[in-house]
A and B are shown apart, each in its own frame.
Chain A
Amino acid sequence: MFERRLYFHIDWLLLGAVLLLAAIGLSMIYSTTYVTLPDGTGHAGPRFWVQLYAVGLGAFALALFLAVDYRFLAEHSLFLYGALVLLLVYVLAAGVRAGGSQRWISLGHFNLQPSEFGRLALALILAMYFGENRRGARNYGDLVIAGLFFVVPFLLIAKQPDLGTAVTLVPVCFGIAYLAGLRLRLIAIVAVVAVLLAPVAWKVALKDYQKLRVETFLDPEKDARGAGYQQIQARITVGSGGLKGKGFMKGTQGQYKFLPVAENDFIFSVLAEEQGFIGVLVTLGLYLFVILRSLEAARVAKDRIGAYLVGGIISGFTFQVIYNVTMSAGLAPVKGLTLPLMSYGGSSMIATLAAFGLILNVKMRRFTN
């Protein structure tokens, strides 16, 4: 099914930018997880190697999702979606627990985090649904059905609990509906209702630790030793980087662990500290390029499924990038939301590269029938 001529339609620039971002992430993980021995020597930490394998596996997944026609995948999206829901149910039933939540399936040497693949499955099924029904997203009944597709994995993930990852399903859903012609008036109404319901949600839906995070965000000094600590440290990390940064592996904030889980949620802070504002601009530029270029892919897509698929995937991606980068500078409540392509995390890396496989897939097949 992979015809030779398709090879010439691969968006090599987009692929290059994606891999470059993964490489930047790898180098930052190398820097923060480097193990210094008492005798002064040292070696790369185990997490660097894990991430490197993940990039390798991700590249394989990317190739796979590029090779198989996205329409084929969309047509079987119900099957993929069902598999995902089953995995999520399995996680809740028999997953691996760590740090107070149950998110992983043990696969011997490493753990798989099915929720990271949720965006992919949801994007496929929603793209299929709206792409095939010819009415787009103008019909309220269709929106309700789309909402059901969304709400099942959302609840399953939120129950782990992993509200951060669950929330990333929202922009996927919203992006597809928006491209499928969701009435702007409806968006406005939803926004107004959301604002009105926020206090209720605050009282009913949020757990204490989540409330604390929001409260702390509004006034980090209030709990400078506790929840506000990460936020204050994030700002110090970013701000102390300056224009040119402190140099590779020379960041005091990341190296001396003032910033918790630097290789994960706060990898961008480490980049800002060690590579400075210049490094930030280059990296943000790459991300922006990847996003805009992907949106171009949606524009030139041959069919609605392709356009919606790309739009959904890239909406989720964009949301994650913007939220994580904002959080990295201590400007958003701290939430377990990784920076796609850069943060440490195997499942996230594989899922993200697979997703870009799909985007490249749509663009590559823009002329095929």
Chain B
Amino acid sequence: MSSTPLMPDDRRSLTARLTGMQYIVASLFAALAIGFWIFQVAQHEKFREMAEENHLRRLPLPAPRGVLIDRNGKVLVDNRDSFNIALIREQSHNVEQTLHILALATNTDEAQLRETVDRHRRDPPYRPIVLIENASSEQYIAVWARRWELPGIVPQQVPSRKYPGSDLAAHVFGYVGEIREDQLQRTEYSGIEPGSIVGQAGIELAYNKVLMGTDGTRMVVVNSVGREIGQPIGEELPKEGRRLQLTIDADVQQAAEDGFAATGFNGAAVVLDPRNGEVLAFTSLPAYDPNAFAGGIDRATWNGLNTDELRPLSNRALQGKYSPGSTFKMAVGLAGLEEGVITPDFHVFCGGGQTFYGRFFKCWQKGGHGSVDLRHAIEQSCDVFFYTVGNMLGVDRINKWATLFGLGVKSGIDLPNELQGLVPSTEWKAQNTKEKKWYAGETISVAIGQGQVSVTPISLAVYTATLANGGTRVTPHLVKAVDDGQELRPVPPPPPQSQVDVSHEKLQAIRDGMWLVVNGEHGTARRAKIDGKDVCGKTGTAQVISNQGRTSARTTKNLRDHGWFTFFAPRDNPEIAGVVFLEHGIHSANAASVAKHILETYFAKKEGRPLPPAPTRDDMHLDLRDPFARSTAGVEGNN
């Protein structure tokens, strides 16, 4: 074996170079050690958390919302188990393809699925995105059958809302839906995770905090593809939302809805207990089926609800502003009495109309009512009497008393988005119109609830209740008691909005007139009479268009008059008061028929008698003659 031994020169140079290498290697290793020290010791906490986030998953266990029961304990809104189909993106190799297959398998709109995923693109990839809420059993089976082609698609069992069916009391309950972006920003929703279901209307919205409950969580260990490993390492069970007892009486509510159904009209009804403001029935039609929202509403239904000309999503009882018509006359009468302008015995001669400020105002009764006092003017809804009283009062004193009794102001009901009507005054006109100056002639129309006067059905119900209970403007409310975990704890009724200082004697004259409306010989709502119950009420017709306008417009269905009937009973010690509003109901007497069914149901239930059956169309004795034929000369008059 040959070899070249190292010469001394060579060795010196080699040694120097080897030493250089040793230094370089040693310093590189020192640098590595420092690098590891920085990660493992200095920044350990940060990476420890990241590792935990990697392999620990907090799965939400959604809490059922609180059950809603009626004043007698009957369950109105409950929960049921439903299936959601969700996508966990980090488990899906190809989201596009997964969505494509899912859309085919479940017969859903692929574009909508993609849109949903896109909306949640900033969520962490392990958080399930609910693609199909409330999946049908066919969809569930289809997904299960193709589960190998659908990695990342998981079914979730979730509690979802179950409403009594169809659209019963839909506007009371409202509906639930996924929390919106703008809601997430607000403080009252702090702590609520994106994707959570919250109330979006009605009681569900107003009492969302109470109803929502607390979601539970389950901690699981997952591997890098998101598969759960072993048993959950921690579990916190969800806490159901609190049970709410509503003031609603399911039977009275049903009666109101049945009454409407029999007439075929849309509209609104509010029935109160005038003693405390408890809402016994509350309806607004057309409505919607809240069940359609419970499991996530599909786009077609949602668009349909929003574009429907009849606006089923709008709550007419709170948001509809209509001319009160003759139901306004009690306010004018009371103002006359309280301001000392008239006494109950004040008589006016009605010859079928009268001229004020150079203009002829006609009474709805062509032949006139002859000489009438306050009581009979209310009974027969004599326009001339109230033209006269209104003219004596002036608009501001009418405004004062109408406002005191709750017209033109908000009722303060515990439902969201209430609007307020309008009772005009000189001040209002000065501030809100171009014309600014109030003309005395305008007061004449206001005196019979026309002109600029507008009210919401709820405010008219409060007005009636205030007349009934002697001047306490009660605050309507829907919640009677809240479950505190052990039992239903009554919620004290909200304090009245105001207490009107009114003479009992003078108020009684108004009530007498309202009694005559139903029970008198010439009453305009005799069909609402119930023997022994002393039902009091007042009809009103709200014109949708002036008579002049009507002649020029081609008459269509949606120009027909609205019908009002406001009522309370019994006359002495009233315990039920309310209002029925029939949209384009033509005649106020038709509204009185609905009210009668409500009242009969209420009293039958109270006295333990069998409840009257749901009325048929014939039972309603509807008067559908469109009074278009009546003379269009002169100014509006109504009954």
Using a CB–CB cutoff of 8 Å, the interface residues on chain A facing chain B are: 69, 71-72, 75, 131-132, 134, 136, 175, 178-179, 181, 225, 233, 235-243, 252-253, 256-258, 272, 276-277, 280-281, 284, 287-288, 291-292, 295, 298-299, 301-305, 307, 311, 315, 318, 322, 325-326, 329, 331
* A304 x B18 contact (CB < 8 A): no
Task: Write the chain B residue with the least CB distance to A181.
Answer: B13
Which residues in B have their C-beta under 8 angstroms from that of A291?
25
For B22, give its contact among A71, A75, A131, A295 (CB under 8 Å): A295
Give, as a whole number of angstroms, the nearest-CB distance from B456 to chain A.
54
For A252, give its contact among B2, B15, B28, B54 (CB under 8 Å): B54
Which residues in A have their C-beta under 8 angstroms from that of B22?
292, 295
Which residues in B have their C-beta under 8 angstroms from that of A71?
1-3
Which residues in B have their C-beta under 8 angstroms from that of A131?
3-4
Task: Write the chain B residue with the least CB distance to A131.
Answer: B4
Do A272 and B26 contact each other (CB < 8 Å), given the known contacts A240-B51, A304-B6, A307-B14? Answer: no
A205 to B107 alpha-carbon distance, docked (Å)? 50
* A236 x B51 contact (CB < 8 A): yes
* A238 x B3 contact (CB < 8 A): no
The interface-forming segment of B222-230, B252-260, B487-495, B630-638 is B222-230
A72 to B1 alpha-carbon distance, docked (Å)? 7
Task: Write the chain B residue with the least CB distance to A331.
Answer: B35
Do A239 and B46 contact each other (CB < 8 Å), given the known contacts A256-B222, A295-B18? Answer: yes
Interface residues of chain B: helix, strand, loop or mixed (majority): helix
Which residues in A have their C-beta under 8 angstroms from that of B39?
235, 238-239, 329
Using C-beta atoms within 8 Å of the partner chain, give the interface range for chain B. Answer: 35 or more
Q: List 20 A-B contacts (CB under 8 A).
A: A132-B4, A175-B21, A178-B17, A238-B40, A238-B47, A239-B40, A239-B50, A240-B48, A252-B221, A256-B224, A257-B224, A277-B41, A284-B33, A287-B29, A298-B18, A303-B5, A304-B4, A305-B4, A307-B6, A325-B32
* A257 x B223 contact (CB < 8 A): yes
Which residues in B have their C-beta under 8 angstroms from that of A302?
3, 5-6
* Interface residue? B58 (CB, 8 A): no
Give, as a whole number of angstroms, the nearest-CB distance from A256 to chain B.
4
Query: 6 closest A-B pairs (Cβ-Cβ)?
Result: A239-B47, A240-B51, A256-B223, A277-B40, A239-B39, A257-B224
Instruction: Output the residue of B25, B32, B40, B222 with the most chain A CB within 10 A.
Output: B40
* Interface residue? B308 (CB, 8 A): no
Do A292 and B25 contact each other (CB < 8 Å), given the known contacts A242-B41, A272-B36? Answer: yes
* A311 x B29 contact (CB < 8 A): no
A181 to B15 alpha-carbon distance, docked (Å)? 11
Which residues in B have their C-beta under 8 angstroms from that of A136?
10
* Interface residue? B43 (CB, 8 A): yes
* B51 x A69 contact (CB < 8 A): no
* B3 x A318 contact (CB < 8 A): no
A179 to B13 alpha-carbon distance, docked (Å)? 8
Give, as a whole number of angstroms, the nearest-CB distance from B488 to chain A.
48
Give, as a whole number of angstroms, the nearest-CB distance from A321 to chain B.
9
* B48 x A239 contact (CB < 8 A): yes
Task: Write the chain B residue with the least CB distance to A38.
Answer: B230
Task: Beyond A178-B21, A288-B29, list 14 extra A-B contacts (CB 8 Å).
Answer: A236-B51, A237-B51, A241-B44, A243-B44, A252-B51, A253-B55, A256-B54, A281-B36, A284-B33, A284-B36, A299-B15, A302-B6, A322-B28, A322-B29
Do A243 and B32 contact each other (CB < 8 Å), given the known contacts A256-B221, A304-B10? Answer: no
Give, as a whole number of angstroms, the nearest-CB distance from B37 to chain A.
6
For B18, give its contact among A179, A252, A284, A318 (CB under 8 Å): A179
